[in-house]
Structure 1
């Protein structure tokens, strides 16, 4: 199938280069063939290969030098989903691949993805088949020269058909150079161009060269291509090579001292030096470090420390040879070591002292160890050997009383040391210590306990493999089979179940269809259990997870909501998305439960949001009541998620409302602040009021009003005090508004309305009802007492 893809070319690129800035033509001599860079010349091909996009940086993802995967990209590596956002994140893929030596490494992309080809074309790839087609085509792609780079900027002179200079083009990058060379022979005719020398190149080994002609440039690139195998010495690679096989000293300062001494660099940092067929060895330690240069340090040698010990500078490194130097008494000593993987090795380099663990699920201090699996199963050794486990070093050295069933061994103490005898085919042997440690894996929880805990609270993954990158996701286990995941702008439903196994309670998560949090998919053993906290170990991988529950409170909700304004990010009723009906709604909430919704340019709705803890404090229930256009958003909800930027409400209907913070706060200005300051300063009374043009001022006789700074004002008639909600704001049309919310006792309910402020001073505020700001049907006047 031919893949669908989208090309991104900078079509006007060469045209922009060729805009002439000269008013008069300058006569020059015709450029010679040696000076012109022709589109199909060998020099142009070499320059194009040098400037082409090099896709080898991410071969761990696509196994192809001719393409690169654009970041960010989501991949699943051995059943673990991760997001690759930077080149440094490629180490995560390598770490997962290297976690186990005996597994099959599988990487899958979350399509669609975008890739970049050698010619800088960007292509959208929809599936694995399309990607395979591009990877397979790599064998037909021209080679990219990776070991030499131009030092930018470089400059071309451009000639017209009369060999007159019409412009100069400055090139700043490989991309610009590649596009320029591709357009030397365009549909509008061939372009005559020559390089302005000198031009500098830099090689992969750090050397640089300056060339002054086309021929010198071609030679320099060809010379670099022949030496592309140069590799700078890297500490990590040297350390890995040292551990692959034994190394033989082939030269020690030009004489035969230490010739044919074998050095074994063990993975635990121990060094063993042997000579000939002896089974005795010289012990020590080794390490590789790097600052300005790579240094191999040999320390704590039991012999020859004056000759071989110390810090050796790595002068030259190949996979099978190292040249080392060290200064002794003002003399430079050189040692040459060569890797020897063919000599009949001993198996002892394959082993080291180690510790293994086993779980104690009934907390009695004993556990069953599978020593053959846990110790021998992790050893990769190309040399034949015979291994046996013993309870004492004496028995191991004498090769007696071996443990009969080492793969079903129960410890006798905690910890306990077992002795592993490794015997080579020639009869040589070494004994290694294996420490057995019993871990308390009892969770003290039944399946019923775990289910009750999960369904009784909102949960967050506070620790996944040692970090908290999943903590912003909230998990609400709404039933015995489903849980709602919210956070990071998503809301989705996953499935879960639990069962009692011999090891303990196992919880399974499936259909986790959201980025990052997908990592919890699979079967998890509950290893620690208490109300409000669960610890898990994966049965599918080496992952660990800690979940903690959070009981939301009314104070937490109102404090969060009162920080800024909020928009309707999502509103779904019976799985029907109605969010677009509320695109122009902006809410303001106050800690006294008062709520205002600005709808469009001039409409203001108001109401309340009342919250309380129910179900013995484990659930936060909310009554959300609004007037006007936002009335249908109201209802009874459960709060299933509160984050810094989002609050999620849910009902079993189902209705799901997500509010997202937007800190515009553009309904407040200097005027609204001044009016509130006047209101706070002293007591007020109603001196004039009309309803339907009828004067009802006497209804407020003797009532003293006091405006608080928490969106509450009090009405005191001498016998009881009423609490009313209020807010002063400026709407999007520039009008000052005074919102009063109260549905209680007479006469205060008469004030409940959305008012225009038509006149205001420090001692008098006149309000007109919003239904018609230009008549006197509804008027309310406050004056300071």
Structure 2
């Protein structure tokens, strides 16, 4: 290293100032000791930190804000050599680093280079090891205050130790002021200086403050240091940043519930929210506006509107992060979004080498491939591209001799490799290999086999022309001629038949009177069959279809039901529609089999739902037990279908009940959540209880209660543990309710009721059978142990 310390001419620098200012007339009053900028004082230190050299402007070069690399400098970025002559040239490095997503960004200097330290010392660095030593020492360097600057010129009066003015010094820059302050410290008090006020400072947000004393100056610098994170958020800049790349929600009120979702802010105002590798997305609209504050509005969301929709106030903005807040129910919800420019910058991330198949029915080794449908039809890509298919890699690279009709291509060998060229708007391209495989689709199943398979269980169309949009429909081949279709709120009957043809077994569907699923109408050749899975090709069109048999489990039913609340979508007894009698019923189910139903304004019915597999696992039976005014909904049911949004149950009566999901969560709010959190925290005991106005508190002596988060209440008397069901909710009249379900052993059956919460805090909860705190007929009090 070759140090070039500027301190060697500090004294000469100050002397020069003295000479230059002596001829000017300046009116100066003798200062008090408090007005002197004392060497090594807190004010001198703050001023020095404010004007120290700030090396953060070129962190992409050296990854250190305590040093700066003197320009020009020659660097190699990812094997590309460039000369950085100005600060604007640093963007060249960023462009090179951002060119590819899957490479490692490496920067190398052409040594020797010259760097500038915080104290304006220039040092010649000969190699990478010497540079690393300076970078590593940055942690020991004093902090630079970056968010406030002096407004120059400023003037110091110079005194001897008798406070007699000997001259004045005018300062024109940060460098001059830093050298001046260093010289004061070096004189050990032989020379005294005071600022000639007023002095002006300018903050990072553009505000200017004028100070008239040392204390005001110290306060102003300290205040600026506390607000160094200020970012001036502009609506136009935020809108541009949102469109540059996709964004991810790294924090939603402190949790990571949305971290797997990617947000795409399109230039036309459309918002797309995707999840993982799925091809479907949640739609919506976005807009950035500003009046007093900058606001990001998310509207018309097809999902999550209750969580993400509305006007979000931009609290903090950086190029790669936004902090947003919104008021919900007198609570402030904070969302932190971060930019993710590594996932979908080019269309190439949307594709990969893959294999597609086509059926050969006459076993000659040739088949027709629909490559556009099978490859491009399954791709959701937010980046524009041009695709072409070629029979050789050479043609694909040269972009010549593209296959004219890739959706009707007959293979020339089996297997055969086709080359897919994907070209981005900037002309860059990548080649992907598509392997074509011809499969022998002649089926060995007989007509009797197919009929037995179809009538053996319920079936879903898991693949129709390459996607699963018909999965929501369940098909029950209940007889030799009829099948019941259930799904998307619809139950309808279609007709079906089968026959043996020369090509194989053909299944025909007719009278399919439901949206979307009507696409299966027609004649279908069975091209592959096994118990539980059938593959078809249409004899009327180019459609293909895969159906799979589904045997439901008790866990699947309870997991589905416990995900949300459910309404009675349809209830029929002996083919008589009784749905209107249950329009005001809203069910909540829990994983511990507890079932709770809100009926009208303030009626609560409760009970259990239990399920088990029967007939060797081919059928799922469910028993719904519910008390009170809707007990007629209960009974032993067969589970006909389970979808994400619907559950269909049927008894032999016949009685058919269809429950539809409605995720309103109206019975839960901040109060119910708080009460449950209190209950979860530790053990409880019953300290007071009455039945029919007679105290029976002693029945619970020695019983320790523990409230589980899965709606289970454990009662432990030291000999055995009882398991009760419970829930805390708010009814439709706004009353807080506490439901306990148990019809077992003494004394716990006495607690079975839909109580009103009349008093509650973190250590005590008082329940009454009627909504009257003064009523003593039935009272139950829990207190924390």
Q: What is the TM-score with the length of structure 1 in the denominator?
A: 0.46
SS in structure 2 of the partner of residue 8 of structure 1: helix
Aligned length: 785
State which drifts further: 578-587 or 29-38. Answer: 29-38
1:456 aligns with 2:437: no
Contact 2:22 2:168 in 1 (8 A): no
C-alpha distance in structure 2 between counterparts of 1:250 and 1:784, whole Å: 37
Contact persistence 2:461–2:547 (CA under 8 A): yes
Q: How far did residue 554 of structure 1 move? A: 2.1
Deviation at 1:562, TM superposition (A): 1.7
**CA distance in 2: counterparts of 1:705 and 1:499, whole angstroms:** 65
Tell me, yes or no, if the aligned pair for 1:508 and 1:524 is still in contact at 8 Å.
Answer: yes
CA 328–129 in structure 1, closer or farther in 2 if over 3 Å, else same:
closer
The unaligned stretches of length 5 or more in structure 1 are none
Partner of 1:702: 702
CA distance in 1, matches of 2:282, 2:671: 87
Contact 2:246 2:344 in 1 (8 A): no
Deviation sequence 1:105-127 (CA, Å, 0-9, x none): 99999999999999999999999
Q: Deviation string for 1:373-424 (max 9, x for gaps)? A: 9999999999999999999999999999999999999999999999999999
Task: Give the Å deviation of 1:298.
Answer: 50
Q: Is the 8 A contact 1:151 1:202 kept in 2?
A: yes
CA deviations over 1:95-144 (Å, ceiling 9, x no partner): 99999999999999999999999999999999999999999999999999
Bigger shift: 376-385 or 502-511? 376-385
Cα 1:242/1:468, change in 2 over 3 Å: closer
The Cα shift of 1:334 comes to 66
CA displacement at 1:749 relative to structure 2: 1.3
Alpha-carbon contact 1:607-1:741 (below 8 Å) kept? yes
Moved more, 114-123 or 607-616: 114-123
- 232 and 583 in structure 1: CA distance in 2 versus 1, 3 angstrom threshold: closer
Closer/same/farther in 2, CA of residues 82 and 269 from structure 1, 3 Å limit: farther
CA-to-aligned-CA distance 1:140-195 (integer Å, 9 cap, x gap): 99999999999999999999999999999999999999999999999999999999
Stretch deviating more after TM superposition (482-491 or 52-61) = 52-61
Do the aligned residues in 2 keep the contact of 1:463 with 1:545 (CA within 8 Å)?
Answer: yes
Offset of 1:202 from its aligned partner? Answer: 56
What SS class does the counterpart of residue 162 from structure 1 fall into? coil
Question: Where in structure 2 are the equivalents of 1:510-549 lying within 5 Å?
Answer: 510-549=510-549
After superposition, the Cα gap between the structure-2 partners of 1:275 and 1:697, relative to the gap in structure 1 and judged at 3 Å, is closer
Measure the CA separation in 1 of the matches of 2:512 and 2:83.
15
Instruction: Quote the Cα distance in structure 1 between the aligned partners of 2:493 and 2:7.
Output: 37
Change (3 A) 1:243 1:463: same
Look up the SS of the partner of 1:19 in the other structure. helix
Q: Answer whether contact 2:2 2:125 (CA < 8 A) is retained.
A: no
Q: Deviations over 1:731-777 (max 9, x none)?
A: 12121111001111222111111111122222222211149775222
Q: Residues 278, 201 of structure 1: CA spacing in aligned structure 2 closer, same or farther, 3 A cutoff?
A: same
- What secondary structure sits across from 2:24 in the alignment? coil
Q: Deviations over 1:293-325 (max 9, x none)?
A: 999999999999999999999999999999999
**C-alpha displacement at 1:213, in angstroms?**
75
Relative to 1, partners in 2 of residues 1:543 and 1:726: Cα closer, same or farther, differing over 3 Å?
A: same
Please identify, of 307-316 and 181-190, the stretch whose mean Cα deviation from structure 2 is larger: 181-190
**Which stretch shows the higher mean deviation, 137-146 or 266-275?**
137-146
* Alignment partners' CA distance in 1, 2:63 and 2:257: 46
Deviation at 1:691, TM superposition (A): 1.6
User: What are the Cα deviations for residues 574-632 of structure 1, in whole angstroms up to 9, with x where unaligned?
Assistant: 22111111111111111111111111111111111112222222222211111112211
Structure 2: how far apart are the matches of 1:528 and 1:107? Answer: 57
Moved more, 617-626 or 321-330: 321-330
- Structure 1 residues 251 and 493 mapped into 2: Cα distance closer, same or farther (>3 Å)? closer
Asked if structure 2 preserves the Cα contact closer than 8 Å seen for 1:268 and 1:352, the reply is no
**Which residue of structure 1 aligns with residue 301 of structure 2?**
301
Q: Cα 1:749–1:492, aligned 2, differ >3 Å: closer, same or farther?
A: same
Change (3 A) 1:350 1:774: closer
Shift of 1:516: 2.1
Cα distance, 1:591–1:433 mapped onto 2, change above 3 Å:
closer
Describe how 1:298-377 pairs up with structure 2 within 5 A. none
Cα deviation, 1:213-257, whole Å, max 9, x if unaligned, reads 999999999999999999999999999999999999999999999
Matched residues in 1 for 2:270 and 2:645: separation?
53
Q: Aligned partners of 1:514 and 1:127: how far apart in 2?
A: 75
How far residue 671 of structure 1 moved from its aligned partner, in angstroms, is 1.7
Alpha-carbon shift at residue 484 of structure 1 (Å): 1.6
Secondary structure of 1:380's aligned partner: coil
Task: Give the unaligned 5+ runs of structure 2.
Answer: none
String of CA shifts for 1:62-115, please: whole Å, max 9, x gaps: 999999999999999999999999999999999999999999999999999999
1:144-293 maps to which residues of 2 (within 5 A)? none
Instruction: Determine the C-alpha separation between the residues in 1 that align with 2:258 and 2:748.
Output: 103
1:737 and 1:755 in contact (8 A); partners too:
yes
Contact preservation (8 Å) 1:76, 1:108: yes
**Cα offset, 1:572, TM superposition:** 1.5
Q: Deviations over 1:514-540 (max 9, x none)?
A: 122112122222110122221112233
* Separation in 2, partners of 1:742, 1:253: 36
Q: Secondary structure at the match of 2:698?
A: helix
Displacement of 1:705: 0.7
**Which residue number corresponds to residue 428 of structure 1?**
428
TM-score by structure 2 length? 0.46
Larger displacement relative to structure 2 (713-722 or 397-406): 397-406
Could you tell me whether the CA contact under 8 Å between 1:355 and 1:436 is conserved in 2?
A: yes
CA deviation vs aligned residue, 1:27-74 (integer Å, no higher than 9, x gap)? 999999999999999999999999999999999999999999999999
Q: How far off its partner does 1:283 sit?
A: 50
Deviates more, 1:734-743 or 1:635-644: 635-644
Deviation at 1:709, TM superposition (A): 0.8
Q: Give the Å deviation of 1:550.
A: 2.5
**Cα distance 1:262–1:593, how it changes in 2: closer, same or farther (>3 A)?**
closer
Alpha-carbon distance change, 399 to 459 in structure 1, aligned in 2, over 3 angstroms: closer
Residue 117 and residue 766 in structure 1: after superposition, are their counterparts in 2 closer, same or farther (change >3 A)?
Answer: same
State whether residues 528 and 536 of structure 1, in contact with CA within 8 Å, keep that contact through their aligned partners in structure 2: yes
Q: CA deviation at 1:556?
A: 2.1
- Give the 3-state SS of the residue equivalent to 1:34 in structure 2: helix
Residues 5 and 121, structure 2, Cα contact 8 Å, conserved in 1: no
Q: Is the 8 A contact 1:20 1:166 kept in 2?
A: no
Aligned to 2:669: 669
Question: Contact (CA 8 Å) 2:4, 2:121: kept in 1 or not?
Answer: no
Distance 1:178 1:114 in 2: 20
Q: Residue 686 and residue 2 in structure 1: after superposition, are their counterparts in 2 closer, same or farther (change >3 A)?
A: same
Q: Is the 8 A contact 2:101 2:343 kept in 1?
A: no
Q: 1:589 to 1:62 in 2, by over 3 A?
A: farther
Seen in structure 2, the aligned counterparts of structure 1 residues 401 and 198 have a Cα distance that, compared at 3 Å, is same
1:663-701 superposed Cα distances (whole Å, 9 cap, x missing partner): 221211222122111111111111222222222222212
Q: Distance in 2 between matches of 1:308 and 1:773?
A: 40
For 1:2 and 1:333, locate their aligned partners in 2 and report how far apart those are by CA, in whole Å: 55
Deviation (angstroms), 1:463: 2.3
Classify 1:611/1:245 alpha carbon distance in 2 versus 1 (closer, same or farther; 3 Å).
Answer: closer
Query: Which range moved further: 608-617 or 272-281?
Result: 272-281
Query: Using a 3 Å threshold, how does the CA distance of structure 1 residues 285 and 673 change in structure 2: closer, same or farther?
Result: closer
